[in-house]
Amino acid sequence: MLVCNFPLNTFLRLAFLLTLIVNNLIPLHALSEIATLRRKAEAGEPQAQFLLGGLYLAGKGVAADDALAVTWFRRAAEQGHAEAQNWLGYMHASGRGVPQNDVEAARWYRQAAELGHAQAQTRLGDLYRQGQGVTQDDVLAVKWFGKAAEQGNAVGQSKLGVMHATGRGVPQDLSEAVRWFLKAAEQGYSDAQFLLGAMYAEGRGVSQDLAEAARWFRRAADQGDAYAQMNLANLYAKGQGVPRDYAEAVRWYRRAAEQGDANAQNILGFHYANGLGAVQDATEAVQWYRRAADQGLAAAQFSLGVSYATGRGISQNYAAAARCFEQAAGKGHVNAQYSLGLLYVQGQGVEQSAVEALRWLRTAASQGMAEAQAELAQLYAHGPGVERDYAEAFKWYRQAALRGLTRAQVELGRFYENGLGVNQDLVAAYAWYSLATAKDAGAKAQMERLAASLTPAQLAAAQQKLSELLTRQAR
C-alpha cells in the first residue's frame, strides 16, 4: 500500500518517491498495488494521477510509455498539482511523450513555480536566462532563481550566484556570488563547489586562497565533476595550494579525460609524452591527443600533428601532420600556423608553395610569434620562391629581435652592418651583435670584428644603444 497512502499536499514526499522510482531504488514488490493506484487516478485523485504518470515514465510495473506519462501528469497538473506541473514542463522541454515545446514547458513551469515549487522556479529562471519559450529577461531569471534560493534549493542558489558573478539581471557583486555559491556548496551541490573553488583560485569576491580552492575542487571532483577534476589536476601539476604531485595530477586528468573532457585528454597526452607522473609512453600520448583532436581541440590537433611530424608514438607521416596543423591553424593556433608554414617551405607532406608558406608564417608572425617573424624574414631575404625584399626582411627580423630571439638579433646586426633594407648603421650593428652574445658565441666574434673599425665615440654610442636595448628587453 506504499504508493497510495500519501496526503494530497505532501509534494516533497511525492517528488522524492518519483525520484526513487525513476532511479530504480524502489523494488517492484512495493508497487504491487498499481491497480488500486490506477482506480484512484481514474477517479480523479491528483496524487495518484501524478504517481501513475511516474510509473509510465520509469516503466515500473507497467510498460514504459512517455505519452501515457504525459497524459497522467497533465490530468494531475490541471488540478493544480505542482509536482505534476513541474514534470509536465520537463516533458515538454525535453520532447518526451510530446513534441518539444519550450513555450509549453515555460507555461507549466510557471504554474508550478507560482505554487512555490523550487525546482520549477529554477527551470523557469533558466528559460528566462536563455530566452527559450519566453522573451529573454535576466531580471526575471534572477527573480525566479532567488525564490528557489530562498527556499534553500541548491541549484537555485548556485544559479543566483552566477547571475551576481556575471552582473546579469543584477549589479555585479562577487561577494554576493560567493555567498550563494557557499550556501549551495555546503549542501553538496557539485556545480557550486566547483564555482566556489574557482572564486578562491582567482581571488574573486574572496581573498585568493589556492588551498581553499583545492578543497572545493576536490569535493566537486569526488562527485565526478570533470571541470573540478581538471582544475584540481592543474593545481597538483603546478604545486599550487597542494604539494606538487605529477602522479596525482595524472590521476585527476585521467578521470576528467575519461568523461570526455578534451583539455584533460590533451594534457594527459602531454604527461605521457614527457613522462610526468606516468611512465613515458608516446603511443599512449598519441591516443589521448587523438581523442581530444577528434573533439576539435586545436591544441590537441597541433600535438597530434607534432607526433606525426616527429614519428613519436606513431609512424612518421608529414601529410597527416599537415592535415592536423591545418585544422588547428584554422582555429588560430599560432604554433600550428608556424609549423604549417614550415611544411610549405620545405614541401613536406604538402606541395612546396611559397605563397602558402608566406600566408601561414605571416599569420603566425602577426600574432607576435618571434620564430615565425624570423622565418618570414628569412624567406624575404633568401627565398626560395619569394622575390627578395630586404626592407620587408628587416622589418620582421627587427620585430623578432625586439622579442629577444637571438638569431634575429644577429641577423639584424648583419643588416645594419651591410645596409640591407635599412641605412647602414655600424653603431646599431655593434649593439645588436653585442645583445646576442649572451646566447650566441658567434655573435661575439662579429662584435669584436666590427669593434676594430669603430671610433671611440662610435663605441660609446654603441654601448649607449646596447643599454637602451637591454632596458627595453627587460620590460
Instruction: Return d(Cα 335, Cα 341) in angstroms, integer.
Output: 10
Q: Which residues of the chain have pLDDT under 50?
A: 1-13, 16, 25-30
Tell me if 455 is assigned to some domain.
no
pLDDT of residue 8: 35
pLDDT of residue 60: 83
State the cell numbers at 9.
499536499
Q: Dihedral angle at the C-alpha atoms of 300, 302, 308, 309, nearest 10 degrees? A: -160
Tell me if 24 is assigned to some domain.
yes
pLDDT of residue 16: 47
Instruction: Return d(Cα 52, Cα 62) in angstroms, integer.
Output: 9
pLDDT of residue 315: 98
pLDDT of residue 155: 98
Tell me if 392 is assigned to some domain.
no
Tell me if 309 is assigned to some domain.
no
Q: What is the pTM of this model?
A: 0.85
Tell me if 26 is assigned to some domain.
yes
Tell me if 389 is assigned to some domain.
no
Tell me if 325 is assigned to some domain.
no
Instruction: Return d(Cα 101, Cα 94) in angstroms, integer.
Output: 8
The CA-atom distances, in angstroms, between 391 and each of 141, 272, 397 are 58, 45, 10
Cβ pair 417, 426 in contact under 8 A: yes
pLDDT of residue 15: 55
Whose CA is closest to 297, among 336, 344, 271? 336
Number of domains the chain contains: 1
Tell me if 394 is assigned to some domain.
no
Instruction: Give the count of beta carbons closer than 10 Å to the beta carbon of residue 67.
Output: 11
Residue 119 sits in a domain whose CATH number is 1.25.40.10
Q: Write out the residue range of the structural domain in which residue 78 sits.
A: 1-151
Whose CA is closest to 285, among 240, 253, 330? 253
